[in-house]
Amino acid sequence: MKKLLLILFLCACSARAADGPVLPEMQLQINSQKFTVEVAASDATRTVGLMHRRIMPESRGMLFVFPYPSVQNFWMMNTYIPLSIAFIDEHGIIVNIADMKPLTTDPHPSLKPAQYALEMNQGWFAKRGIRAGAKVDGLDKVPPAQ
């Protein structure tokens, strides 16, 4: 039994390593909803994002950190997971949320300058009643963009 658990653990670690570099993780909160994000704060990690992944656990996501607020634009090339994206300004306020279809190059822009983008499983925000204007808590602890 111990050998089986060790094999499963090693397989899980190998699969994660194949996804790319291990990113720092942190907890954020919107209203009463706490969740964990991987932080993509460099050009290289922002470029790859969630590409090539097949699943993402519930209440987990990816936070993209940009050096300064500007209109951000995302697409879903090589991304298999249906996602919702929240664009967030420098004060932690969600400016807009968009649903994105997997494996498309349709543009999904922020409606105003955003310093962060938060990708969660599609429908995550809607299921929790989170809309534009909500505040994201915990961004003060996010590592700066590189």
Q: 76: closest CA among 55, 107, 112?
A: 107
Residue 4 has pLDDT above 70, yes or no: no
CATH superfamily of 23-141: Protein of unknown function DUF192 (2.60.120.1140)
What is the average per-residue pLDDT within 3-15?
38
Which residues lie closer than 8 Å to 137 by C-beta, 6 or more apart? 28, 29, 30, 92
Q: 28: closest CA among 106, 139, 146, 143?
A: 139
Indicate the domain borders of the chain: 23-141
Confidence of residue 16 (pLDDT cuts 50, 70, 90): very low
pLDDT tens-digit map of 85-104: 999 999 999 999 999 999 99
Residue 5 has pLDDT above 50, yes or no: no
pTM: 0.86
